[in-house]
Structures are given as structure tokens and as C-alpha cells.
Chain A
């Protein structure tokens, strides 16, 4: 699989798509989120797997998002996600709350090709009370009593975007220990992946690399984006840029501040890179 440009990768995502994103501790592609903003995508239905961070907040701030299904949205030590909070208050996005293992479980059901999976917990939570799509049934295997348990429907996102350390000549991508990205790729219709680099060979023929690889079967497009997770960390390759996120959190408190940040960090940076 030949890499395409970052902008071409972003063009693959149509308006209105359900787009799954990993959180700030698990290989989000901030480079692709910025490219989606430049492409002017609209009405995305974001899925935080299982929570949402920086990429989600900038997509919301740029007006690309109509709904967010997630278990939390946060900028970590930099605090609450300002554009998410503002959009919820203004009523410009719909927020569908979940709890982390429920999101994993709904994706695992898709991965297995079954219509639903059960999950413990949740009973008595207002999360469940606000999820008409989740059902409580008696455990059919219970020896005594009803043993109520929650059933969650399979969730099959249109796209997942994440940032891997590398791709090989065959289009396999390598995510190291962050193998929950594989679950999301298995459960999604298409996976679009940015990578730091493309290397010769085939990860699946290397015993040490195979376990951290995602087979090209699941990958629909690859683009090279050096430092593509920035400001988020990438495995052992680079760390979290707390100063960058703190500055964002300050600026994005207001709509004007966000617009100035976006002009500088999403549009100007790209223009400079193109020169």
C-alpha cells in the first residue's frame, strides 16, 4: 500500500461520518484531525475510545462535529476541554455519555460480528437511564434469581483514525503495546492511519514486531505525518508536550481565542510546511 498525502487521507472522510478516535494516551492522530479541520469536514459523529482528548476538542472548536459519544472529554493536567464544554452549553453538539468498558465492549461485539454483548455494572447509573439503546435483561444462565445484566449493541464506526509509529511495505502498521487500536480497526469499516515513517519489509514476518502490528487487511489508507501525534506522546518516541496543550487550553477558553489558535496552529503551520 502506497502512502498518500495527509490532505488526501483527510479527504477520504465524508461529512457526517462516524469517526472513532483513541484518547491522548493511545495514539491519536492530531495531524489528521488538523487536516480534517483544513478540509472543512462537517457533521462528524465522534466516538471516543473510550474517552476523548485534544483532537476531539479542536474538531469541535472548528465546527466539524455534530455529536460525541464518549466516556469523558479532558485535556489531562491542562484541565477541562474548553471547546467541548462551550459547545455542549451552546447546544451545538449532542453528547452521548457512556462508560469506558461499554465503548470497548460495543466495539468488541462488532469485532466478533455478533449483534450485542453483555457488560456488568451500570445498573442504577443515570448513564444507563439515558441510553435507550442499552437494555437490561435477566441473565439466561443464572442459577437463582434474575441477575439483571446490561446488553450493549455492536458499534461499527465508519472510520477510525490513529497515529502509528510506522508502516511497512505491505501496509501493515505498528502500534507497539497500544493494541486496543487493533480492536477499533477491526470494528470499524475503514481505518485511516498516519505514521512517522514507512520502513522496508513486512512486520508479520518478524516475530518481535508481529504482536504489535495491525494487519493491512484492516487498513484503508496511510499517510506519513512526522510528529503526527504531537502534542500527544508517541510510545517511547516522544513525550507529551504539556506546554503546548496548556497554551491551547488558555486560548481556547473563548471562541476568538480558539480561532486565533486554529489560524496559527492548523492553517499557518500547514502553509509553512508546504513552502
Chain B
């Protein structure tokens, strides 16, 4: 269990972005469906002693909402959620997200589960951190087949924020909404600018030497594999078994 799992690396990279001092403060973070890595990242931020309120949509015991998912969207509409996480079956170089599917609408090629709350959350949250472990040209495309949620909006369209960054299995990208492009922030150990380029269907900016994404520290790994795994077992038992090697008690 000493080897660093990719999911752990991604969770730690997400945690660093949550705490990014150059971004607007994240006092209240929400985590949606199918998001074990963002959930782990949020727990890491919290267990490291940072004052943050976490609202985990899929937590069963002690669920934060007494009006169900409706309350999450109402809170976000009011501007009470500072940060959210979104993924995508396809993500393009302008940070457009496709959670619907490939081919003709509504995903007549490969159908993904669907857009969930993305078409609202992406607009109404000051910061969104994008995550997708699979970093291949079929996921990171030049232009998404269908737009669940656009990365940028025309002037005059109400929008509080957009993508801050995109964390993948190979690297961390930073998003620049003013030019609607990603730049390469760091590459995970074993990757290079060239290997990331090979695996990415969109073009992105590179400035100077691109550092490696730092390894999780021993303290971070201990938190993830211990108390954070404890918190996540109920919601994400398969993830905890696969990544942290923890089996659910019968």
C-alpha cells in the first residue's frame, strides 16, 4: 500500500487547487454525484484543519440537505456555494463539457449518463474544478459533440464563474476564460509536455518549464487512507476498496 495511486495523486492535486490563494475563497464546497476523487480532496482540505463547509450530495447518514438535491441548486442559485466539481465524457479546449454522449443528440453514438446539474452549476458557482482521470484524445477533444454546459458565455449572459482548472490522470491544466484556452500547469511524474500533447485532442498553451505535479506527502496519504477513507466508505464503497484497499465490513 505504499505505492501512490493515481486517484490519490488526483485528489491531492484537487485539494491544492481548492486552497489556491489566487482564486476566490472556498468557504462552502458542494460535491455532486459520482465524484469520489473530489470528495476525497474536500475531506483532505477539511482534515488538514481548513475552515470549510462541505455539502456532500450523496452522503446518506447526516446528509446536509433537508430539501434534497433541490436545496443544492437553490443554494447555488443564491450564490451560497463557492466551489463545485464537474467531469465530462468529453471536454474540449474551450472547457465545454459533454455529459450527454457522442454523435447526434441525445448521444446516439456512445450515450453517457446525462448532464446532471452541469448546465446550471457551471454558471452559478464562482469556481468549478474539472476532473477526469482518463486522459486520452477521445475524452479531451478539439470540440465536444454536444454541449451540456458551455465553458464561456456571451457578454450579457448572467454567469458567476467557470472552470478554474482541469485535473486529469496525466496533468493539471489551468483555464483562462478571457481567451477560452487551457494552459499546462504541471505534469504528473512519468509524463512530459510531449506525452500530454499526444494524449490531448485540443491545443493548449505552454509557458516556460512545466513542473511535475508534486507527490502526495506521507501525511496526506495517511489522511486519505485512514480517516478520509472512513468518511467515504458509506457513499463510495467500491472506490474505497479499489483505491484504499478497504473492504466493507459485512
Pairing of A with B: yes
A125 neighbours in B (Cβ, 8 Å): 115, 119, 147-150
Q: Per-position contact with A for B150-183: 1 when CB-CB < 8 Å, else 0?
A: 1001101110000000000000000000000000
**CB–CB A126/B117 < 8 A:** no
Interface of B, secondary structure class, is loop
A251 at the interface (CB under 8 A from B): no
B238's nearest neighbour on chain A, judged by CB, is: A77
**Interface presence of B114 (CB below 8 A):** yes
Given A76-B34, A77-B239, A149-B158 in contact, is the A120-B107 Cβ separation under 8 Å? no
- Specify which of B66, B105, B148, B149 is in contact with A179 (CB 8 Å cutoff): B66
* Docked CA distance A124–B123 (Å): 11
A70:B114 contact, CB within 8 angstroms? yes
Given contacts A125-B148, A239-B234, A101 and B113 within 8 Å (CB-CB): no
How far, in whole Å, are A239 and B74 apart by their CA atoms in the complex?
Answer: 27
| Interface residues as binary, A71-103 with B (CB distance below 8 Å gives 1, 0 otherwise) | 111101100110011001100000101111110
Min CB distance, B95 to chain A, in Å? 12
Residues in A neighbouring B237, C-beta threshold 8 A:
77, 242
Q: How far is the CB of A45 from chain B (nearest CB, A)?
A: 16
Are A51 and B120 within 8 A (Cβ)? no
Q: Which residue of B lies closest to A127 (CB)?
A: B119
Q: Is A100 within 8 A of B73, CB to CB?
A: yes
10 A-B pairs with C-beta separation under 8 A: A25-B69, A51-B116, A95-B106, A97-B114, A99-B148, A123-B157, A124-B154, A177-B68, A180-B71, A239-B234
Instruction: Judge whether A120 and B158 touch: CB under 8 Å.
Output: yes
The answer to whether A25 touches B60 (Cβ under 8 A) is yes
Q: Do A124 and B106 touch (CB < 8 A)?
A: no
B2 to chain A, nearest CB (A): 26
B120 is contacted by which of A72, A99, A211 (Cβ under 8 Å)? A99
Seed contacts A80-B112, A100-B117, A145-B156; 9 additional CB < 8 Å A-B pairs: A51-B33, A71-B116, A72-B33, A97-B114, A100-B69, A104-B69, A124-B150, A177-B63, A177-B68
**B67, B69, B108 pick with most chain A CB within 10 angstroms:** B69
CB–CB A101/B33 < 8 A: no
Inter-chain contact A146/B69, CB cutoff 8 Å: no
Asked if residues B157 and A124 are in contact (CB atoms below 8 Å), the reply is yes
Chain B residues whose CB sits within 8 angstroms of the CB of A240 once the complex forms: 60
Considering the complex, give the chain A residue whose CB is closest to the CB of B76. Answer: A101
Q: Which residues of A contact B157 (CB under 8 A)?
A: 123-124, 148
Q: Are A73 and B113 in contact (CB under 8 A)?
A: yes
A77: which of B111, B115, B147, B236 is its contact (CB, 8 Å)? Answer: B236
Which residue from A88, A147, A177 sits with its C-beta under 8 Å from B66?
Answer: A177
Binary per-residue interface labels of chain A (232-270) against chain B in the complex, 1 for a CB within 8 Å, 0 otherwise? 010110011010000000000000000000000000000
Residues on B with C-beta less than 8 A from A26 are 68-69
Does B60 contact A88, Cβ atoms closer than 8 Å? Answer: no
Chain B CB within 8 A of A50 CB: yes
Asked whether, in the complex, the Cβ of A127 is within 8 Å of the Cβ of B148, the reply is yes
Please determine whether B146 and A126 come into contact, CB atoms closer than 8 angstroms: yes
